[in-house]
Structure 1
Amino acid sequence: MSGQRTWVGASVPRREDPRLLTGRGRFVDDLQRVGALSAAFVRSPVAAADINAVDLSAVTSVDGVRAAFSAVELGVSGLTALLEREEFVPTTMPILATGRVRYAGEPVAIVLADDPYAAEDGTELATVDYAPRRAVTSIDDALAGNAPDVHDELDENTFLAVAPFDDEVDDVFATAECVVRTSMSSGRQNALPLEPRGCLAEWVDRDDQLVVHISSQVPHQVRTALARCLGLRERQVRVIVPDVGGGFGLKCVVGREEIAVAAAALRLRRPVKWIEDRREGLFASFLGREQRYQVRAAFDGAGRILALDADVHCDVGAYSVFPFTSGVEPLMAATELPGVYQVPRYRARARAVATNKAPTAPYRGVSRPQIVLVMERLKERAARELGIDAVALRRRNLIDTFPYVGVNGITYDPGSYRESLDRCEQRLREEGWFELRGTAADRLIGIGFACFNERTGYGTESFAQRKMSVVPGYDISEVRMDPGGAVTVVTGTSAHGQGHETTLAQIAADQLGLHPDAVQIRQGDTDLVSYGWGTFASRSAAIGGGAVRLAAGKLAERIRAIAAHLLETDGTNIELADGWCRRRDDPASSVPIAEVAEIAYLRAHRLPKDFEPGLSAQAAFDVLTSGTFSNATHGVVAELDPRTGQTRLLRYLVVEDCGVVINPKIVDGQVRGGVAQGIAGALYEQIGYDADGQPSAGSLIDYLVPTAGEIPEIDVEHLETPCAFTETGAKGMGEGGTIGAPAAVLNAVNDALRDTGVELDAVPITPEHVLRALEFSR
């Protein structure tokens, strides 16, 4: 790649990978401190109960146990997440359960010991007197007239009930030529990052700071929560994120365990570490996805959609999480259900329902896997009812004029909706899959499609519409060049596997005329950048990358100004390329960028008059629109085994458009990882609960995670429609693979079942579901 002057668009090898693949990464559990204590939590074995008493007197008898605290003894205030809207009912999530437990696995006390084994032993000797209550374990249960209250403040166990779009559509349905309905449900899932949650907290007297190393996506938001709960100034809290082994939304909310660990470290003035084990992660961590939809759509005789009417219920568990609240899933579902289709009339109602289950966090895609599944099922049903090819019916309804203002009030920027569908169908036809499906009478083969967009680059304006009291959006970056010409980029984003060290270096390198190897990315430290919103909602390339590009551009202007002074010309006549500052009108007249940097620091007398020494620049970037939209079409070929009911995916094709592709290989990796998680939700993963609120999955024996053997080869083809709203032209794309996969897989399975008269409308699709459908046809 030597001499290449444009790095954006190049598949530069990920610079993170050598250390991560050779065991030289630094994760929270790799950090050691002299005298550190290990934390473990006493967790409720029941889903709903009053706490009459907590007795920890026997805990400290365990050899190695140094302290144990209940909620009263720890004395830390809880987390309250707020939406500034009348329909939302705020509740507080205590750091340790106080007076009452609301889900199996809720932390009741914290035990501190010399090692994790002693701490676990200590938890076994805690005595908690529980007075069991009747648990609320389903949406229907929660909304029943005689249901117990999960929180006394809630009416009908509802955190949030909204009707953001209340068009009167009944007249349209009464006269429509075709009306189709779907009742779709999705199972509760765990994000299951490779690295579970964890933190190491210590008080540093020299800096008058609580320093917390944590596996998180949002270090500044963790800092804010810690300061509020512990009564500290924000400058007294420093949050550092080392390498992170995956997050997927689970780590973009603040956990109560991390607050408890920090409180214990502050109280004991000793370092305290907690590493979540896999069992805790499965049943006591943040979950997601459990939703139910009742939706109908009206079509004319040509297959064009006339109106959409939706009723959405989201089981959000026992607490509202900080800072996104329990409203994130229903608000996303109701607002973005129309997706890539032109919907002229729309009515939607959505609820966040409280149950005695672990609370939910914004798991990758946040309701969009479900809403895409709903819309794609409606298209398939309408096509069948009207006798129209399902792909042709989609094509008639896709948004094709941009910018497009939807019935939901969102402005859609240009995308390749039709092009991606056309290309996906064309390739599957050319490869012979349609012919195989039609001629292989002895095999159950189906083809499924899913068309969707992914709203990314949510700026401050977009988040403000949710009326959060904490409003994310912008991001800040600082770019510094040292006296030797090397560059450090400080960013408010915080990677957990996306390759920021590579892609952000590519963006900065292009602006500065350097090789990416000369650029070092620093992130995940609240003392390095004044504020940053971290990494979630596919925002880092679109917003964080925009801030990096702007800051690097400002620094480039400073470098040009110095070079112009040295080369006796104007700054506009200076080009930065390949490590040199060259006069455009006389390329032989040049000076190395490294020499300019040396002058800026070590020979400041040679700088232009009134020019400050040093080379640094800072910039912020925000998307001041509805956001930007990536889009894709997924095409799947599935085969069902009539003996076992197993679903095997024979072909998986993604045609995607995320604007300017900064690093194609990294985008491919993100898409493939997302598709794997989407397939997991479509076919395998689910946490169920019994009538007492006990979760079905306590280990990976019970929670069915697909391996490389179940995930097919995933072929990715790129289209590029540059974004007009971002500095880089890039759109976010981190969640798209997950968003499209469940609908494409379910449509393929239903296509394979086309002769049975049965259609499935729930995920995950189990072998039992398939076998029952085949038995029905017999």
Structure 2
Amino acid sequence: MTVHAKTEHTKGSGTTWVGRSIRRLEDPALVSGRGRFTADLPAAHWVRFVRSHVAAGTIDSIDAPDGIGMVTASDLKGLKPIKPMLSKFNYVPIGQPILADSVVRFTGECIAAVYAPSKDQAEDFADEVNVAITETMPLTDARVALADDAPRVHAGTQHNVIVEGHIATPKFEDAWVSADRIVRVEARSRRQNATPMEARAGHAVYDPLTERVTLTCTTQMPHLTRTAVCDILGIPESELRVIAPDVGGGFGQKMSLAPEYVLLVWLARHLRSSVAWTEDRRENLIASFHSRDQYVELEGAFDGNGKLLALRGDIVANIGAYSCFPTTCGVEPLMALAELPGPYDVRAYDCRSRGVMTNTCPMAPYRGVSRPVITFVLERLMDKAAGAFGIEPTELRRRNLIDTFPYTSATGLVFDDGTYRETMEMAIKAIGLGAFRKRQEAARLQGRYLGIGFATFSERTGYGSPAFAARGMEITPGFETVILTVDPSGFVEARIGSSPHGQGLRTSLAQIIADEIGVDPQFIKVVHGDTDRSPYGWGTFASRSLVLSGGASLMAAQKIRAKLLKMASHLLEASPEDIKLEAGAAHVIGTDRSVTIASMARAAYHQTHIFKGEIEPGLSENATYDPSGTFSNACHVAVVDVDIETGNVTLEKFLVAEDAGLIINPMIADGQVHGGVAQGIGNALLEEIIYDETGNIMTSTLADFLPPTAREIPEIELHHIETLTGNTITKAKGLGEGGAIGAPAAVISAINDALKPFDVSIDEMPATPQRIRAALRNSGKLP
């Protein structure tokens, strides 16, 4: 069920398509099996990677039988390593070789690549390669790696801390010592894998005529992939074309540059042929970017009324063996540092955040990045504080949520208009909190333990280059460009730099453009994911695509609209102010005079003389958009039933009250929230990458690493408030990550609420049955 409550409404504004739940334009090909994925492409040579079976060691030898085509690091001399850069936060630049050179640093690291005419033969060849490694002591835990006497993951470094940030507001100690009560949380977020439905894949083909290579791959950032690969190989970008076809889910894992793609392009040029690689699920689980392995210590100082006066934190993030490109490994610890205060009004803040190298798979952004972790920890703090003050958890939140806008946070972030308290009040009313408390009490008398958990949070979305520049990134993402063309047949093509991978962006952009120039979205084609066809852009990540590509699309469409009105004024002999564009034509208001957009488009190309030099030939415009950013917000509520005998958690209900500004397509927005909540539930209850003491991954199949299924996902009830922000040209905010941000905190809060009679505190995720049972046993209060 979805309910919309708009703080402002677009009714009567003349919009036709924005705000409507039209079917996704990209779906017919996908649901009928006509989608085009990287793994569908044929190749002359198939590649398998020989990967390290140990977490740390020196390579003594690599041997393969005669006749096997094989590439090792010795063949790649002269290639640059993958080496993302930051200019701030004590960042230590570490290069990652394309293939391990002398040293291996995590289980699954690429040591060699073999190639053969078929997938099966390549697999067999890889099994015949013998790699001798002298093992050394691995580090898998970030806290152990912090010790002064810990082995160094990279020889020659002073320590294993690769990035460190610290924020302390003035007079913090004064605020701290004035508090009546200090509340503390020590929390742990276990390592995850994004587990997209389609694992990584790459296909590189050399064209002997042009001497160019076309790399088709599962990437969220086609243009930056091209730039990075060409820099590493030392070739002009004109010699490489990168295509992202249909991509079966990315979630951030396909955002960072994979060394496998560099090897594929090099090998295609070396063989002057076509090569392909498709990752299997085991490879994905052990060697494709992981995420969210963090320790967080958080303390809150409250006055006697439960008002949060000061917040003190210490964050340790395990970033793995290498830094990811282009965001660097700073993305998780630094986002946590900047956004930890969340939606709460707190003026005194002191926090240190460190990214620590270990002998584990490198980390990269995953839907929500650090915010699922910091939201979980902050909401645990609020629940514990509510318990200390003896009040309802929602009441403590009510006393601390931001309610005046614009609001500048203790870390300098500027929050635009939002509904932090309103979404929580909407959620409280919709869930029926008072009635639930009565049902909960009655259930406890019968030996059933129900719980309810609330999570309020803000989601920074749609930010451009100023936000990334503040991080000190050598590569500063941000702007997006759209090239909009009406061709001589009257059909519309929008070429975008963003690269959607399942979120319905094509449809949403078509709706924005359709309203502006008066055509049906079916006549608008959105072209993306091809560096030969699309303008240079940054791809899809950080809840940015609709805000940035949508803004650029609107700006380009406004230019097209102005030109169409001017053309129509010539053809219809009327003032542009008296003409409206709708249903594929320009109409003189109050008359029956009209001209179709298709005929005007034809005239723009074939009869330019009729406009007497007052209108440029053709019908194409472009626009670039680079906003400061905006904040969505939401309140998530989970209702659970905890079986104290087994530790099993059943989710009875999940409710979301969301404010993401103007909703372009409600069905697509709801789908985004549903998908994010499902991932958040997996984060809260199930998903965990586990290393043993030797650095070997124990969760290398989907029998061990457990994503949620339909059985674990309850009914999700959605409520929307639409606060039309002035920070974006479309009035929309991003919401792609929100479902995953709030759900883990809501679920674990509900578990803790259910277990209150036992005085236990689950401050770790996932909250598995084993961890719940252990906490209950240690409580000594089991019946």
TM, length-normalised to structure 2: 0.96
Match of 2:584 among 579, 582, 597: 579
In 2 relative to 1, CA 168–155 (structure 1 residues): closer, same or farther, beyond 3 Å?
farther
| Structure 2 match to 1:755 | 757
Match of 2:124 among 109, 121, 124: 121
Q: How many residues are aligned here? A: 764
Which amino acid in 2 is paired with 1:648? T
User: Is this contact kept in 2: 1:477–1:492, CA < 8 A?
Assistant: yes
| Structure 1 match to 2:11 | none
* Secondary structure in structure 2 of the residue aligned to 1:312: strand
Question: By how many angstroms is 1:715 displaced?
Answer: 1.1
| Structure 2 match to 1:71 | 73
User: Is this contact kept in 2: 1:756–1:773, CA < 8 A?
Assistant: no
Matched, 1:276 2:296: no
Match of 1:539 among 518, 533, 544: 544
| Mapping of residues 29-178 of structure 1, within 5 Å | 29-33=39-43, 36-56=44-64, 58=65, 60-61=66-67, 65=68, 67-75=69-77, 76-85=79-88, 87-165=90-168, 167=170, 169-178=172-181
| Mapping of residues 186-201 of structure 1, within 5 Å | 186-201=189-204
Q: Residue deviations 1:678-707, cap 9 Å, x none?
A: 000100000111111011111111111211
* Secondary structure in structure 2 of the residue aligned to 1:352: strand
* Secondary structure in structure 2 of the residue aligned to 1:397: coil
Q: Which runs of 5+ in 1 are unaligned?
A: none
| Structure 2 match to 1:604 | 608
Question: By how many angstroms is 1:520 displaced?
Answer: 0.6
Matched, 1:526 2:531: yes
Matched, 1:9 2:19: yes
Q: Residue deviations 1:503-530, cap 9 Å, x none?
A: 1110110111011111011001111233
| Structure 2 match to 1:481 | 486
Q: Residue deviations 1:328-358, cap 9 Å, x none?
A: 0010000000010001100010000000000
| Structure 2 match to 1:657 | 659
| Structure 2 match to 1:446 | 451
| Mapping of residues 561-576 of structure 1, within 5 Å | 561-576=566-581
In 2 relative to 1, CA 575–153 (structure 1 residues): closer, same or farther, beyond 3 Å?
farther
Question: By how many angstroms is 1:167 displaced?
Answer: 4.4
Cα distance between partner residues in 2 of 1:168 and 1:160: 26
TM, length-normalised to structure 1: 0.96
| Structure 2 match to 1:315 | 318
| Mapping of residues 353-752 of structure 1, within 5 Å | 353-429=356-432, 432-440=435-443, 441-442=445-446, 443-584=448-589, 586-623=590-627, 625=628, 627-752=629-754
Q: Residue deviations 1:422-479, cap 9 Å, x none?
A: 0100111179433311222221000100000100012100010011000000000001
User: Is this contact kept in 1: 2:372–2:745, CA < 8 A?
Assistant: yes
User: Is this contact kept in 2: 1:340–1:417, CA < 8 A?
Assistant: yes
User: Is this contact kept in 1: 2:169–2:410, CA < 8 A?
Assistant: no
Cα distance between partner residues in 2 of 1:288 and 1:157: 18
| Structure 2 match to 1:25 | 35
| Structure 1 match to 2:238 | 235
Q: Residue deviations 1:30-64, cap 9 Å, x none?
A: 1224xx210100101000001123233x1x53xxx
User: Is this contact kept in 1: 2:579–2:586, CA < 8 A?
Assistant: yes
Cα distance between partner residues in 2 of 1:479 and 1:227: 28
Cα distance between partner residues in 2 of 1:660 and 1:707: 31
After TM superposition, the structure 1 stretch with the greater mean CA deviation from structure 2, 207-216 or 87-96, is 207-216
* Secondary structure in structure 1 of the residue aligned to 2:725: coil
| Structure 2 match to 1:202 | 205
User: Is this contact kept in 2: 1:317–1:357, CA < 8 A?
Assistant: yes
Which amino acid in 1 is paired with 2:353? A
Cα distance between partner residues in 2 of 1:472 and 1:431: 47
* Secondary structure in structure 2 of the residue aligned to 1:587: coil
| Structure 2 match to 1:327 | 330
Q: Residue deviations 1:158-211, cap 9 Å, x none?
A: 110111335453343333111100001111000000000011111223334221
Q: Residue deviations 1:649-685, cap 9 Å, x none?
A: 1010000010000000001100010000000010000
Cα distance between partner residues in 2 of 1:605 and 1:344: 65
User: Is this contact kept in 1: 2:527–2:534, CA < 8 A?
Assistant: no
Cα distance between partner residues in 1 of 2:215 and 2:236: 14
User: Is this contact kept in 1: 2:80–2:97, CA < 8 A?
Assistant: yes
Cα distance between partner residues in 1 of 2:60 and 2:165: 37
Which amino acid in 1 is paired with 2:385? A
Match of 1:771 among 770, 773, 780: 773
Which amino acid in 2 is paired with 1:483? P
Cα distance between partner residues in 1 of 2:35 and 2:610: 42
Cα distance between partner residues in 2 of 1:471 and 1:289: 23
User: Is this contact kept in 1: 2:208–2:272, CA < 8 A?
Assistant: no
Which amino acid in 1 is paired with 2:679? Q
Which amino acid in 2 is paired with 1:620? T
In 2 relative to 1, CA 269–659 (structure 1 residues): closer, same or farther, beyond 3 Å?
same
Which amino acid in 1 is paired with 2:472? K
User: Is this contact kept in 2: 1:5–1:578, CA < 8 A?
Assistant: no
Cα distance between partner residues in 1 of 2:434 and 2:213: 59
Percent of residue pairs identical:
45
User: Is this contact kept in 2: 1:414–1:723, CA < 8 A?
Assistant: yes
Cα distance between partner residues in 1 of 2:539 and 2:310: 38
Cα distance between partner residues in 2 of 1:86 and 1:389: 39
In 2 relative to 1, CA 465–153 (structure 1 residues): closer, same or farther, beyond 3 Å?
farther
Cα distance between partner residues in 2 of 1:394 and 1:86: 32
User: Is this contact kept in 2: 1:91–1:153, CA < 8 A?
Assistant: no
In 2 relative to 1, CA 737–153 (structure 1 residues): closer, same or farther, beyond 3 Å?
farther
Which amino acid in 2 is paired with 1:355? T
* Secondary structure in structure 1 of the residue aligned to 2:756: coil
After TM superposition, the structure 1 stretch with the greater mean CA deviation from structure 2, 410-419 or 168-177, is 168-177
Cα distance between partner residues in 2 of 1:460 and 1:207: 35
Which amino acid in 2 is paired with 1:690? D
Cα distance between partner residues in 2 of 1:86 and 1:636: 37
